[in-house]
Amino acid sequence: MTATTRPYGVLGRVLGHSYTPTIYRELAGLDYRKFEREPEELESFVRSGEWEGFNVTIPYKRDLVAYMDELSPVAERMGNINTVVRLPDGRLRGDNTDYYGFKVLVESLGLELADKKAVVFGGSGGAGSTAMMVLTDLGMRAVSIDRSGKHTYENLDEHADAALAVNCTPVGMFPACPKAPCSLTALPRLEGLVDIVYNPARTALMMEADRLGIPNVGGLLMLVAQAAQAVERYTGRTVGRERIAEVTSSLARSERNIALIGMPGSGKTRVGQQIAARLDCPHVDIDWELEQRLSCSCSDYIVDAGEEAFRRAESDCLAQIAARSGQVISCGGGVVTQPENYDLLRQNSIIVMLDRPIAELSKAGRPLSQRDGVEALAERRMPLYRSWADIIVTSRESADATAREAVRALDAAKIA
């Protein structure tokens, strides 16, 4: 295997689904693979000729330092590496691009942060130590907030003067989402929030920041930025911040969900199927999924167990499905009646309302429409649909035509 044919990749012990191969293909067209190795295999892998360069993930970021012939200044300072480069003379150089990735993430907020306080949730951990270092270098007074010690979540209000909050914990990461290590209400002077979690796209902290009007950014940009610097180390080609932003936005759009809401009978299932076919992605119908779990139809369950029990089952089902990404979700008409469902959808989804004239809505097989009447149901729910929706699509003459309009509206909106 020659230098021109050797692949790049990521080294770890167990490597699951990752955006990283896609990122490296988008940034530089690299052949990028997963290298899963046990601890006893590390030295033989590092000394082998099967790779041209590779990234390192947990648990090997510190272990690999011993095999390097030299370290970059940043890697020396941090005491761990995430990038290994084979130099022209065959020697191995360890680098760390996490520093640059996090710096790009913070600077993307466009805030003046020098001489202000930052609180870092989980600042004593591996990712947190990187954040603390970058923030200090940016002139901030960084304070680590941890479960125990001097500065904890219980006395977070002692840092009410903090201008920036950073989450470096795994709390709220897929699949245990949306969750947060704490609330932001103890930090009334916040100017920005950074969350290094990138799956889900919007963490619980980010959604709280949205409600409070606080600018925020998630970890996907950091993932792309650190890959961009690794590309420069591997190939000598510089990837500018504009290109980093483009790749981040493209990846976010490809991984988002499209969640359809609207009145019962508005065509969410059929339109969802058509949108999924057009975008070549999975389609999930919440009512159908519920029926598989309940072993009966949704209408029968509502009649037998009551609407309250049905709504609990619906929310439980939605929590599992909406945590995943890259799918079209057709929601039940009553999903908006439970406020907690909004965050379940919002974390990964663009929410699209299908607006169909009330006169065209059928009551057949819909016990709530039959009990309350379509008009009364619409009076209660339409304001909720509109307040939840990112995009409103008026129904067309067919499901296919409505799907075409929805895809057009999504493309035009450029919502990541």
3-class DSSP state for residue 29? coil
- Distance between CA atoms of residues 54 and 48, nearest Å: 12
- Distance between CA atoms of residues 25 and 27, nearest Å: 6
DSSP type of residue 7? P
- Please say if 61 is a catalytic residue: yes
69, amino acid identity:
D
DSSP type of residue 184? S
Question: What are 57's two structure tokens?
Answer: 């993930």
- Distance between CA atoms of residues 94 and 71, nearest Å: 5
Q: Is 409 exposed, middle or buried (0-12, 13-18, 19+ CB in 10 A)?
A: middle
- Distance between CA atoms of residues 333 and 165, nearest Å: 37
The secondary structure element, H or E, covering residue 36 is strand 32-36
User: Catalytic residue among 61, 103, 116, 117, which?
Assistant: 61
DSSP type of residue 298? H
66, amino acid identity:
A
DSSP type of residue 113? -
Length of the chain: 416
**Pair 6, 49: CB distance under 8 Å:** yes
Strands 257-261 and 328-330: parallel
Q: How many CB atoms lie within 10 A of CB 402?
A: 25
Active site residues: 61
